[in-house]
Amino acid sequence: MVQEHGWRRRSVLGAAIGGATLPFLGTARAADKPPVKIGWLVALTGANSSPGIGFNRGIAFATQVLNEAGGIGGRQIEIVTRDTQGDPTKAVNAALEVVSQQRVEFLLGPTNSGESLATEPVTARYKVPSLLYSVVDSLVDIRRYPYYFRQLPSNTQWTEAAQNYVLKVLKAQKVGVIGDATGYGTATLQLAASEFKKAGGDVVYTALIDPNATDATAEMQKAKQAGAEALLVWSDSAGLNARIMNARGGIGWDAPMIGHPAMGTGIVKNLLKQPSYWGKVYIVGYRSTSFDAGGQLPARTQDFLKLVGDKVKLSDTTLWWVACGYDSVNLIKWAIDHGGSSEPAAVKRAWESLTSYPGIFGDYGYSATNHNGYPTAEVVMNAADSFKNGAYSLAPGY
């Protein structure tokens, strides 16, 4: 269990900042010990690579900081990265290679739920403690996948935040629901449409769009003609999200777009035909990376940005992706430190004892009966066009 006191204020930064300011003492010991090997399954290329690039920057930065401070118990951290390209088949092959041949002790990713749906059943038998970067609810199943823990919110947390914003703040009753043609997009479209109807709303149009589609004008015209007052959009493809916004603006339509955080990445901004097309785009976000009314980020996040300095590029990604990646490596360190070992059973027990861990991205907590670690209260909606170095202002209505 995390003790609060002064350590909470320093958060996970405490070990990193403290270690970085002390003389380096771990080199000789680390040379005599095997590294802590962490498998990292990530789409670094392809249409769905935007989140992976951001997460990867945070993982790389945390690894550098901790290794310079002596690693974990005198062991250096080694990240075994495999680019899945957003392809479930490539993800399965990569997952099997890192767990069976590379013999990694931990697994991070994949960064797309469609890939996780494919990899999880084949890697679960290896009992490798894993932190999920995927949101589809069924991926966390303590009985089937006892060594998997989710670091992000679940899909239900995301869709509920978006749905509540549409119904309670925007006062829109008729929506179009759009997903990309991946496992994630298909599952989320079905969930979002079903839950919106249960809440009393009307889904007047649905569409799955190939992430590589070059134009979304036809879909926007159909949604408009169907009477949609707002669009729920669920895709982690920055390119596709930009093309949807361009198509919406191109037909002179200003219906609000609400949904996936990737609609707010800096890459989207650079792909828009007009800056105004980013208006009325509201994305799932987090209090940890949201500016308050005075334009300030939470103190813990400010400390993290001071540590990062100019070492991590934030202008084309989202801060929470970087922060989440940073937290992942530190959550592994915490588990080894508190569990006394990197053995799977010890790590599992350690994580299941974790309450209110003060990460940069959020305050994680797990238990023996709950491997979903992100608190719903920290999930908010952001205005995409308020983007500044990866962070955002709260959407109107908060």
For residue 142, give its domain range.
5-154+299-375
pLDDT for 32 equals: 79
Query: Does residue 398 belong to any structural domain of this protein?
Result: no
Return the bridge partners of 176, or none: 205, 231
Q: How many CB atoms lie within 10 A of CB 30?
A: 19
Domain count, the chain: 2
Mapping DSSP to helix (H, G, I), strand (E, B) and coil, where does residue 73 land? coil
Give dist(CA 166, CA 129) in Å, integer: 37
**Can you read off the two tokens belonging to residue 319?**
């801060």
Do 268 and 148 reside in the same domain of the chain? no
**Can you read off the two tokens belonging to residue 6?**
């002064």
Do 65 and 109 reside in the same domain of the chain? yes
Do 149 and 193 reside in the same domain of the chain? no
Q: For 207, phi and psi rounded to 5 degrees? A: -160, 140
Do 160 and 148 reside in the same domain of the chain? no
Q: For 273, phi and psi rounded to 5 degrees? A: -70, -30
Do 18 and 71 reside in the same domain of the chain? yes
Do 95 and 138 reside in the same domain of the chain? yes
Do 127 and 207 reside in the same domain of the chain? no
Do 168 and 231 reside in the same domain of the chain? yes
Q: What is the pLDDT along the chain (398 residues), one digit of tens a residue?
A: 333 323 333 334 443 333 332 333 344 444 579 999 999 999 999 999 999 999 999 999 999 999 999 999 999 999 999 999 999 999 999 999 999 999 999 999 999 999 999 999 999 999 999 999 999 999 999 999 999 999 999 999 999 999 999 999 999 999 999 999 999 999 999 999 999 999 999 999 999 999 999 999 999 999 999 999 999 999 999 999 999 999 999 999 999 999 999 999 999 999 999 999 999 999 999 999 999 999 999 999 999 999 999 999 999 999 999 999 999 999 999 999 999 999 999 999 999 999 989 999 999 999 999 999 999 999 999 999 999 999 999 999 98
Do 77 and 174 reside in the same domain of the chain? no
Report whether 323 contacts 334 (CB < 8 A). Answer: no
pLDDT for 31 equals: 57
Q: Which of 129, 128, 95, 127 has the alpha carbon at shortest distance from 111?
A: 95
Question: Does pTM surpass 0.85?
Answer: yes
Give dist(CA 241, CA 255) in Å, integer: 15
Which CATH number is 144's domain given?
3.40.50.2300
Return the bridge partners of 132, or none: 150
Query: Does residue 113 belong to any structural domain of this protein?
Result: yes
Q: Which residue has the tokens 């088949």?
A: 89
Do 125 and 161 reside in the same domain of the chain? no
Q: Which of 305, 309, 361 has the alpha carbon at shortest distance from 331?
A: 361
Do 139 and 18 reside in the same domain of the chain? yes
